[in-house]
Structure 1
Amino acid sequence: MSSVSRVLAGVTAVAAVALTGCATKGVPYQTPSSSSSAAAAPTTAAAAPTVSMTPVPAASGQLTGTQLETVLLPQSFFPTGFTLSSSSVVSSGAVLSSSPPQYDLATVDCGTFVNHFGNTGFGETALASVSAAGQSQAYDQVVYQFGTPAAAAAFVAGVTSVAGRCRSFTATSNGATGTFGLKAAPGPAVGGHPSLELTQTGVLNHSALSIDTVMSASGVDVFAGAAVGLAAAVPTGLAPATIAYNLMKRQAAAAVLGGS
């Protein structure tokens, strides 16, 4: 959620001067202390509380990436110290896409996956995402929209398969190389829909990186929220499932207003 790819890009900018990941491309992370290292891995954070969730109808209709941008959670949703950056916005734009997948989740290289997850190229009809960055931490949010509910569910299943074969790998982003691992497990129900919890851990430029993403397929959409920590524990003010749930509710309202 994160997007892991944008996480890597954003973290790399910090580490190099660093997620989707993400922390995000262009997000103004604070540079970790020079004493941060693989040996000084983030401490494990307590799980963030999730909000009480009522069922949300399956997402339907087709919104463009530009319209999905209005679904993304506003600055007021995030805890103090986390700032949305307009430069971190990723959108598929004002036209629905009909392009076939550029990245096949059944065969995509692990490094390629983390460098593109949270961006276009997975056969979606539209996408929008943005991150809120803080001191060595971030929250990420993304909405992937597909042509059919089956395609949305297949995307989540594909991510599960990627995690199964990417338990340890090396990836390079913006000149920085890191060693990472992915793990997937069933996550909490989000608005009455099943979810996947994708965990990424690793080391980037001697700083420990942790990303906890929850993604849920609902109708034609996949909603994802993520919490990211670089040389720090992942933030706990918001649960990734809470981010995904609120995106789900906002999409339902946007689809109705848009007449979809």
Structure 2
Amino acid sequence: MFFYLLLAFSVTIKAYQCPPSRILIENQLRNVHIPGLAAIVVNSSNILYEEGFGYHSPISNQYPIDPSKSIFVLASLSKTFIALAAMQLVEKGQLNLDVDVNQYLKFSIRISHPLFPYSIITMRHILSHSSGLGSNYEEEFHHGMPGDDFLKTNLTDVILRYLLNKASWLSEAPGNVTYYTNVGAAWGALIIERISDLSFENYVRYKIFDPLGISNTEASYRLSTFAMRKKDLVEHYVYNISLLSIYHQIAPQLNVVQ
């Protein structure tokens, strides 16, 4: 579940109150092969520091990073919206973190850990990455698509296919071990959809972004929202050649380049 975010804030106090060394930051970025960075330091009420470093692309210095214009993919930071949405539903009494999630999913079949079929899986397990789900990258990347093509797929179908594959599960019972999983987070988003009767995209827009005054031009679920601002999109690349070969093998449709 990815969102794209335009980092656009107005600096309210002078940057010298938080003076990191620009040279130090730029050297560190080069050391870890990161072409660009937008940095911001805040306290409870003010922006203390805001600056851009480097460029959108590792092969061109045409577009410097600009915190007021550069658009980044949020990637796994999107998981915070899943957690926030879940807790909103808890506050409304629509979600209990400690009951079997099957009562919210309402599938025709009961979802359980194949090795521990009598152990319930709760939303607390899902949010804390302790549901018992593991990594099945072949299955996970099968659904990876460039741009907005993923919107053509049905989240229910994607999650069911993953959950019903025994290779997707760990050998540990739910609640016994923490194991970071992207599909587990998407499972949580599906539960939010089932409870709210809204797509996850619309839930975040109506229940989180709109109340915060964040417009569709600043944050969006769809890359196409920024079609007229392609030069503001920060490019992504793979530096490690071994990772590149893995992407080419399991997700050739993504056209990942070095």
Query: Do the structures match in fold with TM over 0.5?
Result: no
TM class, shorter-length: under 0.3
Higher strand proportion, which one? 1
TM-score of the aligned structures, taking structure 1 as reference length: 0.26
TM-score of the aligned structures, taking structure 2 as reference length: 0.26
